[in-house]
């Protein structure tokens, strides 16, 4: 994945646990990189190793690390670093969700080696929809849950995410029911 992902994980862990904890995570993960270059592609395994090492050394499950990282990605990384791109996604939660299937297309124009996730929306009502998440990368469903929760926070719209199914032999996507309330003032 592009260096911006590992960099964001570093930022989150330093902010929450301090630099020594981060150095320990890198050591435990066997990652010997001083500075992640945003626009360089790194092996996916490096990101998985960092998440695994964070889980082992900081006493959280990998699911908890990924979910927290999804929230952080929206509320800090994307907002601070890619605000304009984020704004193009929509001006409220339902609009943003319905635009998710094409969201990474713009990012692919800048980062040409991007291997983006796939999304599609079904069963759309005024307060809910079903989201399919397609990916070649296994095990990231809790990252998606965190991302959706982060978007709810960003739009001040209480959101509930329920995973209804996982990719496996009979389907090639994870399935989420996303329900939301009216935005709060
Ligand atoms: C401006 C905001 C965003 C930027 C710059 C961005 C960029 C990226 C980048 C660079 C990757 C790594 C893929 C690679 O390097 O090949 C990625 C992966 C991913 N992004 Fe985004 N993203 C943004 C917002 C979002 C949002 C809003 C969602 C969904 C709610 C999302 C869902 C994902 C998922 C699930 C992955 C994991 C990749 C996979 O499943 O294969 N991203 N994104």
36-46 per-position pLDDT tens digit: 999 999 999 99
Strand order in the sheet with 118-122: 118-122, 128-134, 174-180, 159-165
Q: Report the C-alpha gap between 11 and 72 in whole angstroms.
A: 9
State the Cα–Cα distance between residues 27 and 50, nearest whole angstrom. 9
178 neighbors 97 (Cβ within 8 angstroms): yes
Give per-residue pLDDT as tens, 155-183.
999 999 999 999 999 999 999 999 999 88
At 158, list the tokens: 């209480």
Q: Which atom of ligand 1 is nearest to the CA of 85?
A: 1
Considering the chain, what is the average pLDDT of its residues?
A: 97
Ligand 1 pocket, residues with Cβ under 6 angstroms: 1-2, 4-5, 78, 82, 85-86, 100, 103-104, 107, 111, 114-115, 117, 135-137, 140, 143-144, 147-148
Task: Kindly state the average pLDDT of the residues 120-140.
Answer: 98
Per the confidence metrics, is the pTM higher than 0.95?
A: yes
């Amino acid at each position: 994945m592009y260096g911006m992902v590992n960099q964001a994980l570093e930022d989150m862990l330093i902010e929450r646990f301090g630099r020594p904890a981060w150095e320990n995570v890198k050591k435990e993960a066997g990652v010997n990189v001083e500075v992640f270059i945003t626009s360089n592609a790194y092996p996916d395994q490096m990101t998985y190793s960092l998440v695994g090492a964070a889980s082992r050394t900081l006493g959280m499950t990998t699911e908890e690390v990924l979910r927290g990282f999804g929230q952080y990605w929206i509320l800090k990384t994307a907002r601070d670093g890619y605000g304009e791109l984020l704004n193009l996604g929509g001006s409220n939660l339902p609009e943003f969700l319905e635009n998710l299937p094409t969201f990474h297309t713009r990012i692919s124009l800048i980062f040409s080696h991007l291997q983006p996730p796939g999304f599609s929306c079904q069963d759309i009502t005024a307060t809910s929809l079903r989201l399919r998440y397609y990916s070649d990368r296994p095990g990231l469903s809790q990252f998606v849950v965190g991302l959706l929760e982060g978007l709810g926070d960003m739009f001040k719209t209480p959101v509930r995410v329920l995973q209804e199914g996982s990719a496996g032999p009979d389907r090639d996507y994870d399935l989420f029911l996303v329900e939301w309330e009216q935005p709060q003032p």
